[in-house]
Amino acid sequence: MMSETIVLLDMTTPERADRLRALLPPGFVLTHGTARGDEHMKEIIAEADYAISGQVGVSREVLAAGRKLKLLHKWGVGYDNIDVAAAKELGIRVARTTGSNAVPVAEFALGLMLSSLRFIAYGHEELRQGRWATGRLPGDTYMLSGKTVGIVGFGAIGKNVAKLLKGFGCKILYSKRTPLSAAEEAELGVSHASLAQILAEADVVSLHCPLTPETTNLIDSAALKAMKKTAVLVNAARGGVVNEADLVTALRAREIAGAAMDVYSVEPLPPDSELLTLDNIVVTPHLAAMAADNFAPTVKRMFANMVHVSRGEPVPERDIVV
């Protein structure tokens, strides 16, 4: 029996590739990207039966090069950088691991809140540079305990953020197109609110919505001006939800106290990005979903979906994109 090939389109280390191979089902082999860009992806997808996209975008041209491709699997949840319409036209199924990274991302978002409110990352970098920052921080520090936190987007990640915040005694507002039932709101200790209310009242605005035409540039100059001057913005969702030029202007003018960003409109973040010139922002390189103890369960789920396709079985409904 011939092996079927899975290609990880992202660049990865040999060590990480070996960890993936250790979890492969029988009858499958794994290859992976060794360079960035569509031309390289077109080469490595050409002979693949299945492909995995972590953080790389997948264009129509890349998909069209996958002449044997049966399934493109998103490693995670957000598929806004995959040309899903093209996949559908080409007869390539697309799946994702819905909810698989909810707890790691929620924990990371909490870490970003604390780092931004307390200048943790700033103090760390100052000390590494031989400077003792006590008494000369770029702004005031604030506790998270007892604050009002607004969660924009309330799927699995947003709900886990709310659960973590309960221990801090926060007032939690959430925005969602369809509000939860009164019973579920009571269980989570949250209240439904409009985006306008969240911007006006929250000490921390934490973004957990998908990137769609409706949410692109959701947080722009007007939204930032509507926030409290003492508030911080946290984005562990998608870069395009925030207008980065407007955020730079707001942070420079101290229209808000600070921000923490794990995602950007262009990734990797260009080294000349103005976000890197600010002293009241925490920036991390799209790390929120990465947790070693979440690696195997997520990978096994992706591989199980590929086995379903190989056997002519349906992919579980929760993981189907197209």
Examine the residue annotation and report whether 40 is marked as an active-site residue of this protein.
no
DSSP string, 146-159: T-EEEEE--SHHHH
Q: Which residues of 112-143 are buried (b: 16+ CB within 10 A; e: fewer)?
A: bbbbbbbbebbbeebeeeeeeeeeeeeeeebe
Examine the residue annotation and report whether 267 is marked as an active-site residue of this protein.
yes
Cα distance between residue 172 and residue 189, in whole Å: 7
Burial of 308 by CB count in 10 Å (0-12 exposed, 13-18 middle, 19+ buried)? middle
Q: Among residues 47, 107, 126, 267, which one is catalytic?
A: 267
Examine the residue annotation and report whether 208 is marked as an active-site residue of this protein.
no
Cα distance between residue 302 and residue 317, in whole Å: 13
Size of the chain, expressed as the number of residues it contains? 322
**Residue tagged 């808000």 (tokens):** 256
DSSP string, 108-153: HHHHHHHHHHHTHHHHHHHHHTT---TT--SS----STT-EEEEE-
Q: Among residues 32, 238, 244, 255, which one is catalytic?
A: 238
- CB-based contacts of 19, cutoff 8 Å, min separation 6: 295
Three-class secondary structure of residue 28 per DSSP: strand
Question: Minimal CA–CA distance to 80: which of 259, 224, 263?
Answer: 263
Three-class secondary structure of residue 298 per DSSP: helix
Q: Among residues 16, 19, 286, 308, which one is catalytic?
A: 286
Q: Of all helices (H) and strands (E), which one includes residue 171?
A: strand 171-175
Three-class secondary structure of residue 241 per DSSP: helix
The pairing of strands 71-74 and 50-53 is: parallel
Q: What positions carry a catalytic annotation?
A: 238, 267, 286
